[in-house]
Amino acid sequence: MIDERKQRILQAIIDDYISSAEPVGSRTLARKHDLGVSPATIRNEMADLEMLGYLEHIHTSSGRIPSSKGYRFYVDGLIPPKPVSDEEKSLIDRWYKARVKRIDEVFQETARLISQVTKNVSIVLAPQVSQAAFRCLQFLPLDDHRAIAVIMTDAGFVENKIVEMPSGAAFEDFQRMAGVINRSLAGRILRSIQGTAMKQIRDEIQDESLYESALEVIRRALDSEKRERLYLGGATHMMEQPEFQDVDRIKDILLMLEEEELIKDILHAHRGEGLEVSIGQENENSRIKDCSIITATYHLDGELLGTIAVLGPTRMEYGKAMSLLEYMNTNLANVIRRFHW
Amino acid sequence: MIDERKQRILQAIIDDYISSAEPVGSRTLARKHDLGVSPATIRNEMADLEMLGYLEHIHTSSGRIPSSKGYRFYVDGLIPPKPVSDEEKSLIDRWYKARVKRIDEVFQETARLISQVTKNVSIVLAPQVSQAAFRCLQFLPLDDHRAIAVIMTDAGFVENKIVEMPSGAAFEDFQRMAGVINRSLAGRILRSIQGTAMKQIRDEIQDESLYESALEVIRRALDSEKRERLYLGGATHMMEQPEFQDVDRIKDILLMLEEEELIKDILHAHRGEGLEVSIGQENENSRIKDCSIITATYHLDGELLGTIAVLGPTRMEYGKAMSLLEYMNTNLANVIRRFHW
DNA sequence: GTTAGCACTCGACGAATCAGAGTGCTAACA
DNA sequence: TGTTAGCACTCTGATTCGTCGAGTGCTAAC
């Protein structure tokens, strides 16, 4: 159905279109690639490929451009491997070393880096604190009626909250409470902290108002970081792409990117093991039917932490973007480990 | 030199141009504003105003547009007052209540809010931690050889750093060190912590490797937060302005905004008491010679904390932007106070 | 099955045209 | 003397019209 010559032609067309952004015609294709056949033959093959749905015709007498199905075929088999070069790896390494001092900067700079290399928008979904394991809780006295609760998790996060002490409670009561909570919750995934554990704490504390404070602290730790943080990069790089030379289109994309919930949903839809590519029409969201998204999940010690993604026009350098994401998601674990204990 | 009628005409021209973004001609001006004179007279006055440098002519036979000098005159005296409405105030209030849970969100959301209302780019320079007063330092044990240093300042910041304990040091040594540091530095402005105070600490600690650790902690607290954080908002709103309908121009502005040091320098150049407006040609930086910046500083208890700013085309709604900034910089103090102790 | 040739189709580009809005100048007016 | 009407002139922006180049599809020949 789609023989080897058709494949070669399809690949040549897509490679060409990806690098030039111009519809590609039979004559130029014959000139540039040494396919061993004449333009007329290529035309015939192109007509077949269009019939089969791999190519599209804007209107008669413009060259062909790949359809989503064409890109899909390309991504699934034809894609020329383009590994991350050693220079790029060392650039990435130096970048992290120079710019990252705090854990949130890891994600921000990862986003920046990905967009820098791919010239596209990148999205980094940072791990939720609430899916990290509780490690320990400590109180620091602030004045007579307030203290700072410092909560540490296994994922390297340190959260602090100012809490009011119930009137009549002494700081020692708080210390005791911390002990109770630490014993009950150590190692628990924050998100999974629920009824039974809390009941145990209640029984041990034996003081209603103090228990309320404990509850408050834990709830806040869960609450405030329940939302996964989203880091974006590359709005300016996007503007280098010929398909984003229209201000309204750019605005549209940027507005969409501001809708955190939407973006998270899109990323959550792709949580498989390896890389996932969603091409053009394959995207649910109508605003990015002419875009592709490549997603990759990153892990630490086997635990799913988050997702990194590249969003760009369907005419995207899939090979480059995919190998970069592949490299980054292994690399990210090492970088995050530095903030770990 | 510039009589009352000229003023009225200048104001009408600028008002018109600000709302329409089109060069304004004598006839339309006569039609829209009831100036009591004929277009011909207006033409004569316009010619005079141009001679005096308040107006500009792109080329013969397009209407006039204000020059930087014209805007300056307008801003300094003609500007129609446009106070923030009660609805807007309550919108702002609700916005903060709904969206702000952490102190860094105060600044992010302020930026978002300002750009939302003014339809321009906004910049918020958050207070440096290092110009806050040291309040206290505590260590929390992590494992045998590490601890978390939690540093609190008067401005409501809590910073934490993981520190290695020198081999042989026990956690009790750290506790003692915290005591020494707290006694020596309490109330000091972080930035001003220097030689003498450090010497005192050294004398008290009497242990070289422990002293090194102390130094490390304090240095890190100063270091990592030495850089003032910059929050930006409104890239998409900017795109609604007719002067930013060109992708390259937008890209140019966005790239400039990514240069944190540059932006900080620009904001630092305006640190007067009230609002400051820098119009078009008045800007040092050539990339924004067709933009205006309005800056305002905000304070807490008389202490200068940071700067908020609006960046837009010279054709900007100065009245609205200025009164908004004025309102925001008083309001901000109240919002920040909520995170204070 | 492959290729050459040919008629046809679009889009991009530049020149020409035209309407609309504006100016500057002059002369008349109060 | 300041104001206004009238007029010639200018420039922009939209529209139209060829023209050119690149491409296609079809047919016939190899």
Mean pLDDT per 10-residue segment, chain A (341 residues): 90 95 93 90 95 91 93 92 91 90 87 96 87 77 77 72 74 81 78 71 76 73 69 95 92 95 92 90 93 94 90 96 95 83 54
What is the per-residue pLDDT for A146? 76
Contact B140 A148 (CB under 8 A): no
Contact A247 B251 (CB under 8 A): no
Tell me the shortest Cα–Cα distance from B213 to chain A, in angstroms.
18
The residue lying closest to nucleotide C5, measuring its CA against C1', is A40
Q: What pLDDT tens digit does each residue of chain B (341 aa) get? A: 788 999 999 999 999 999 999 999 999 999 889 888 999 999 999 999 999 999 998 888 889 999 999 999 999 988 888 899 999 999 999 999 888 877 788 999 999 999 999 999 999 999 876 667 777 788 877 777 777 788 877 766 677 777 777 777 777 877 888 888 888 877 777 666 666 777 777 777 777 777 777 777 777 666 655 667 899 999 999 999 999 999 999 999 999 999 999 999 999 998 877 899 999 999 999 999 999 999 999 998 888 889 999 999 999 999 999 999 999 999 998 888 877 65
What is the per-residue pLDDT for A277? 96
Does the CB of A250 have a partner CB in chain B at under 8 Å?
yes
Q: What length is written for chain A?
A: 341
Could you tell me if A152 and A190 are in contact, meaning their C-beta atoms sit under 8 angstroms apart? no
Which residue of chain A has the CA closest to B243?
A247
Query: What domains are there in chain A, each with its CATH number?
Result: 4-78 (1.10.10.10), 86-127+228-337 (3.30.450.40), 130-224 (3.30.390.10)
Tell me the shortest Cα–Cα distance from B27 to chain A, in angstroms.
33
Q: Which of residues 202-231 of A touch B (CB under 8 A)?
A: 224
| Nearest C-alpha neighbor of B29 from the set B11, B48, B54 | B11
DSSP helix/strand/coil, A43: helix
Beta bridge partners of A138: A150
Does the CB of A144 have a partner CB in chain B at under 8 Å?
no
The tokens 């928008």 sit on which residue? A121
* B27 CA to C30 C1' distance (Å): 23
β-pairing, A146-153 vs A158-164, is: antiparallel
Q: Read off the tokens for A12.
A: 């040549």
Strands (E), A105-145: 121-125, 134-143
Closest partner CB to B236 (pick from A142, A239, A255)? A255
* DSSP class of B166: P
What is the per-residue pLDDT for A260? 92
Nucleotide closest in space to A37 (CA vs C1'): C2
* B40 CA to C28 C1' distance (Å): 14
The residue lying closest to nucleotide C22, measuring its CA against C1', is B61
